[in-house]
Amino acid sequence: ILNVEQSPQSLHVQEGDSTNFTCSFPSSNFYALHWYRWETAKSPEALFVMTLNGDEKKKGRISATLNTKEGYSYLYIKGSQPEDSATYLCAFREGSQGNLIFGKGTKLSVKP
Amino acid sequence: NAGVTQTPKFQVLKTGQSMTLQCAQDMNHEYMSWYRQDPGMGLRLIHYSVGAGITDQGEVPNGYNVSRSTTEDFPLRLLSAAPSQTSVYFCASSPRQGSEAFFGQGTRLTVV
């Protein structure tokens, strides 16, 4: 079974702080890496789908980078806001016929 | 714009009872899947389907059956519920296997 690791498990920051977290995945047979945001009492929603080594994606204050050779992706949030509080999931796809393998997530809490 | 619709949202079953969790999508997606979410675990794949008439097992298929008679619907059946099946279940659909997943609202199932 493929292992997708996310760190840290949880994070508490103050409003205005910038933060980042990590997703580690197998570096062999890479096809894609997904990031999802999962707010409490809602369902996960896709943030980014990244496929190329060196990819950088940005959506507002949130951005992500990808290193497929060493098997990691970083998610950055600039100037965190309370509405950014959520669990952030990454999911690894192995090969063109692979299913998504999810990490356990990083739970972010942003205090006003 | 319904997206992925799951019913019911909550369910309590007695050990040994059977039930079906319903999932429907209106986006004409080929790929549909069922996940379970347990504390301290990532989303784990139960079963998936790459198209009508085609289903396959995921990581944790035991105790569950699925069918895909139409593109739109992908029900999950618990044949004889066990306390170990207490979990939150998510249905998801994607245009293709491994592409961006669109999740339903989840079903919180308790087996007593």
B92 versus B2: the higher-pLDDT residue is B92
pLDDT band at B2 (very low <50, low <70, confident <90, very high): confident
Residues in CB range of A42: below 8 A, 6 or more apart: B105
A93: β partners: A32, A100
**Residue-wise DSSP of A14-50:** ETT--EEEEEE--SSSEEEEEEEEE-TTS--EEEEEE
Query: What part of A 58-87 touches B (C-beta under 8 Å)?
Result: none
pLDDT tens digits for range A19-41: 999 999 998 889 999 999 999 98
Helix (H) / strand (E) containing B55: strand B54-57
Write the residue in A31, A46, A105 that is nearest to B42 by C-beta.
A105
Is B42's CB within 8 Å of A103's CB? yes
Return the HEC string of A45-89: EEEEEECCCCCEEEECCEEEEEECCCCEEEEEECCCCHHHCEEEE
- Give the closest residue to B60 by CA, choosing from A1, A9, A33, A91: A1
Q: Which pLDDT band, with edges at 50, 70 and 90, does B56 fall under?
A: very high
Establish if A93 touches chain B: CB-CB under 8 angstroms.
yes
B99 to A49: CB separation less than 8 angstroms, yes or no: yes
pLDDT tens digits, one per residue of A47-104? 999 998 889 999 999 999 999 999 999 999 999 999 999 999 999 998 888 889 999 9
Contact A90, A103 (CB under 8 A): yes
Asked if residues A50 and A36 have their Cβ atoms less than 8 Å apart, the reply is no
In this complex, which of B42, B98, B106 lies closest to A99 when CB atoms are compared? B98
Q: Which of A4, A31, A99 sits opposite B48 (nearest CB)?
A: A99
How far is B90 from B77, CA to CA, in rounded Å? 13
Closest CA to B6 of A105, B87, B20, A40: B20
